[in-house]
Amino acid sequence: MPAFGLDPEQLRWRAELRALAAERLRPLVAGAPPGRINRPLVAALGELGLLRRLFPAEGPVRALDLCLLRESLAMECTEAETALALQGLGAYPVVLSGTPEQRDRWLPGVRAGRAVTAFALSEEAAGSDAAALTLRAEPDGSGGWRLTGEKCWISNAPEADVCTVFARTTDGAGARGVTAFLVPADRPGLGGEPLEMLSPHPIGRYTFDAVPVTRADVIGPVDGGFRVAMRTLNLLRPSVGAFAVGMAQAALDAALAHAGERTAFGGPLKDLQAVSHQLAEMATRTEAARLLVYAAAAACDADAPDVAKRSAMAKLLATETAGYVVDAAVQIHGARALRRGHLLEHLYREVRAPRIYEGATEVQRTIIAKELYREEPHR
């Protein structure tokens, strides 16, 4: 379906991505254990060149390209979309703020799908208020630190090969006392466990028992880790909306097909006004969310001054819209959509988390409100 602002090459690429996801990636999901890293799937993302598109040799990915990647994959295979997105989340701190040595060591393996990454910011008592984190980095007396504490709700934990970890290096300094560290999986004292969640992608807990890190492991400046995290999240935030739009479109397509084929009360469901009006509302909200996501991505690529507001609006509207559309599609399908293994049963579990992670809906509204008053004085 053509969308305003996309040129013919972008539309062709989006169609190719959908075909790749359906034909080459979706089969790798069948039978894979839920809640664990699917390494054959990550390897396929590398072999097909999708991770190279996520990590271009010339620098950070364009936000609009990232949105097209995530939206297109999500329409056909949410597991592939999530695996790709998590590679970006874990490795972009190195892309944006890492040293040449850190990039040379880790990015080739990440691009090839051989090395799996994680991004460890959240804790039990520090989710939306990420500056309140308590994982401690205590000086070891030789120029390094020892990490002690826990991280929770971390995607790809505890199985990732390398993790970007945010720890407190200065007490009482809030966001200004956090440092980012690159921690390989084989460091002594690093442990963890997987967590069984509503959504099927891998999420777990990390435990740090005096895990050693050195100056060479620091990403960005000491006590500058919060900015490292925010640079990564600001780049990825519009594309969370793209993931949501992809799920909404998949649910809408399923509802359109079902309503056109299913007969009730003497005719197809689509001829019932209650159903047809519901489909019209689902389609309108999905397209509105898509356009807002594309606009936010374009603003990000242009380094526009209102990127923070646009990105927050895009994530807010797209994730809330996807929840509405998937729920409405389930209602149109009836009980069959709740059967384990049905596309909509899968989407129903997948669609809830994006309203929380990378800034909950309430956080996005707070950002938007602050930006409205930052832009110009109001009487």
Tell me if residue 358 is catalytic.
yes
Q: Please determine, for residue 229, whether its predicted confidence score (pLDDT) is greater than 80.
A: yes
Mean pLDDT of 259-285: 94
pLDDT of residue 256: 98
Phi-psi region of 201 (alpha: psi -120 to 50; beta: other; left: phi over 0): beta
pLDDT of residue 4: 64
**Please, which pLDDT band fits residue 2 given cuts at 50, 70 and 90?**
very low
- Between 198 and 323, residue with greater pLDDT: 323
Q: How far apart are CA 192 and CA 236, in angstroms?
A: 26
- In order of their start, the domains of the chain are 8-112 (1.10.540.10), 117-223 (2.40.110.10), 227-375 (1.20.140.10)
CB-based contacts of 236: which residues, under 8 Å, 6+ apart? 66, 85, 88, 89, 92, 358
Q: Please determine, for residue 110, whether its predicted confidence score (pLDDT) is greater than 60.
A: yes
Q: Please determine, for residue 127, whether its predicted confidence score (pLDDT) is greater than 80.
A: no
Torsion angles phi and psi, residue 358, rounded to 5: 55, 35
At residue 355, the 3 state secondary structure works out as helix
Q: How far apart are CA 203 and CA 119, in angstroms?
A: 11
Looking only at Cα atoms, what is the longest distance across the chain? 80
- Full DSSP string of 10-66: HHHHHHHHHHHIIIIIGGGTTTPPTTS--HHHHHHHHHTTHHHHHS-TTSSPPHHHH
- Between 130 and 349, residue with greater pLDDT: 349
Torsion angles phi and psi, residue 47, rounded to 5: -60, -35
Mean pLDDT of 268-294: 96
Nearest to 208 by CA among 153, 147, 122, 121: 147
Lookup: tokens for 193 = 């466990």
The predicted-structure confidence for 6-25, as pLDDT tens digits, reads as follows 889 999 999 999 999 999 99
Q: Of the listed 76, 123, 358, 371, which one is catalytic?
A: 358
Mean pLDDT of 60-72: 95
**Please, which pLDDT band fits residue 246 given cuts at 50, 70 and 90?**
very high
pLDDT of residue 58: 85
Nearest to 87 by CA among 58, 110, 60: 110
Q: Please determine, for residue 1, whether its predicted confidence score (pLDDT) is greater than 50.
A: no
Percent over 90 (pLDDT), the chain: 82
pLDDT of residue 377: 61
Q: Please determine, for residue 125, whether its predicted confidence score (pLDDT) is greater than 90.
A: no
Mean pLDDT of 33-47: 95
User: pTM for this structure?
Assistant: 0.92
Q: Please determine, for residue 27, whether its predicted confidence score (pLDDT) is greater than 70.
A: yes
Mean pLDDT of 87-107: 96
**Please, which pLDDT band fits residue 366 given cuts at 50, 70 and 90?**
very high
Q: Please determine, for residue 376, whether its predicted confidence score (pLDDT) is greater than 70.
A: no
What count of residues does the chain have? 379
Nearest to 84 by CA among 33, 36, 44, 31: 44
Q: Please determine, for residue 365, whether its predicted confidence score (pLDDT) is greater than 70.
A: yes
**What integer best gives the mean pLDDT of the chain?**
93
CA dihedral 291, 296, 298, 304 (to 10 degrees): 140
Question: In the Cβ-directed half-sphere of 156, how many Cα atoms lie within 13 Å?
Answer: 28
CB atoms within 10 A of CB 285: 20
Mean pLDDT of 233-249: 93
Residue that is written with structure tokens 């197809």 in the block: 268
pLDDT of residue 3: 52
- Between 375 and 87, residue with greater pLDDT: 87
